Amino acid sequence: MKELEKLMNFRPEIRVVDATLHDGGLVNNFYFTDEFVQNLYLANLKAGVDYMEFGYKASREMFNENKFGKWKFCKDDDIRAIVGDNNTDLKIAVMADVGRCDYKNDILPKNESPIDMIRVATYINTIPAAIDMINNATQKGYEATCNLMAISNAQEKDVEIALELLAQTDVKTLYIVDSYGALYPEQIARIMDLYMNTATKYGKEVGIHAHNNQQLAFANTIEAVGDGANFLDATYNTMGRGAGNCAMELLLSFLKNPKYNHYPVFRFIEDHMAKLKEDGIVWGYDLQYLMTGILNQHPRTAIKFTEDKRIDYADFYCELIERD
Q: What is the pLDDT of residues 38-55, one digit of tens each?
A: 999 999 999 999 999 999
Nearest to 54 by CA among 122, 107, 4, 1: 107
Q: What percent of the chain has pLDDT over 90?
A: 95
pLDDT confidence tier of residue 2, bands split at 50, 70 and 90 = low
Predicted confidence band of residue 9 (pLDDT cuts 50, 70, 90): confident
Report CA Rg, the chain. Answer: 19
Give yes or no for residue 276 having a pLDDT over 80. yes
Residue in 99, 282, 321, 289 with CA at minimum distance from that of residue 180: 289
Whole-angstrom distance, CA of residue 305 vs CA of residue 322: 16
Does pLDDT of 3 surpass 70? Answer: no
pTM for the complete prediction?
0.95
In which element (H, E) is residue 112 found? none
Residue 74 C-alpha from the chain's centroid: 16
Distance CA 24, CA 244 (A): 8
Where residue 69 falls (left for φ over 0; alpha for ψ -120 to 50; beta otherwise) is: beta
pLDDT, average across residues 126-142: 98
How many Cβ atoms sit within 10 Å of the Cβ of residue 174?
24
Dist. CA 221–CA 323, nearest whole Å: 30
Q: Band the pLDDT of 10: cuts 50, 70, 90.
A: confident
Mean pLDDT, the chain, rounded, equals 95
List residues bridging with 143 in a β-sheet: 117
User: Can you tell me the distance from the alpha carbon of 306 to that of 74, in angstroms, rounded to the nearest whole number?
Assistant: 28
pLDDT of 7 > 80? The answer is no
Q: What does the chain come to in residues? A: 324
- pLDDT of 5 > 60? The answer is no
pLDDT at 4 over 90: no
